[in-house]
Amino acid sequence: MQRVALSDGSSVPCDFLVAAVGSVVNKELLRGTPVVAEKAVLVDEHCRTSEASIYAAGDCAAVRDKLFARYRPPAQWDTAAATGAIAGANMAGEEKAFEDVTHFSTELFGVPVWAWGHAAHIDRRLMRGAPNVESPDFAEIGVAGDGRISYAIGVGPHAADKLLPELVKRRVKINGNEERLTDPGQPLDIF
């Protein structure tokens, strides 16, 4: 058993530790302005703030997710970069919109993991493939109460499956096709 030493001199026993670095938006700059911010500056899909001539992007901005009707702070650097490009293009007179499926990716012990969509909507989970320790290769698909796919996570080779985010983006209705969806021998493009 290992332990983590704390700054007060005490320690906490543990078997596993994950360290993460995040950012905190400094909203002091916005105080007294009409720009709306919660944990981040709220922007529409064009990266416009509540003040139409002011744009925000990157780690400080929570972009409106039209698919799930909520604001999403960027969870990945590529989302932050994409919103920066969108804000810049729109400030230059274009009409670009953020239309990506909200996602997150990481690598755990050399195994890629990708997740797309909104997990809070999940009513039930469907497993595609069989997770195992020796060679993880599976997908978990979250189905909302209305029978539509709301969330998908791919682990191992399934992490690279481009059809998983597409199923979430299209909010595919399962309609009694659970068995076909969970069978790794069935292609996902039939949905």
Q: Are 1 and 93 in the same domain? A: yes
Among all chains, which residue has been given the structure tokens 């985010």?
Answer: 165
Output the pLDDT for position 108.
84
Residue-wise pLDDT tens digits, 111-137: 899 999 998 879 999 999 888 878 888
Q: Across-strand partners of 153?
A: 115, 140
In 3-state terms, what secondary structure has residue 45? coil
Under DSSP, the state recorded for 102 is P
Statement: residue 177 has pLDDT above 70: yes
- 146: CATH: 3.30.390.30
pTM of the model: 0.75
Range of the domain at 74: 1-100
Output the pLDDT for position 189.
82
Q: Are 86 and 115 in the same domain? A: no
Do 119 and 75 meet the contact criterion of CB atoms below 8 Å apart?
A: no
User: Strand order of the sheet with strand 41-43?
Assistant: 41-43, 61-65, 70-72
**Stretch 154-181: mean pLDDT, rounded?**
88
Contacts of 81 (CB under 8 A, 6+ apart): 58
**Stretch 140-165: mean pLDDT, rounded?**
90
Q: Are 17 and 84 in the same domain? A: yes
Q: Across-strand partners of 173?
A: 148
Residue-wise pLDDT tens digits, 67-116: 888 998 877 788 889 999 999 999 999 999 999 888 888 888 888 999 99
- 11: CATH: 3.50.50.60
How far is CA 125 from its chain centroid?
Answer: 17
**The length of the chain, given as a count of residues:** 191
Number of domains, the chain? 2
Q: Are 2 and 93 in the same domain? A: yes
Average pLDDT across the chain, whole number: 89
Q: Are 92 and 140 in the same domain? A: no
Output the pLDDT for position 22.
67
Q: Across-strand partners of 176?
A: none
Statement: residue 173 has pLDDT above 90: yes
Q: Are 22 and 96 in the same domain? A: yes
**Stretch 18-32: mean pLDDT, rounded?**
79
Statement: residue 161 has pLDDT above 90: no
* pLDDT above 90 coverage of the chain, percent: 51
Output the pLDDT for position 172.
93
Q: Across-strand partners of 115?
A: 104, 153
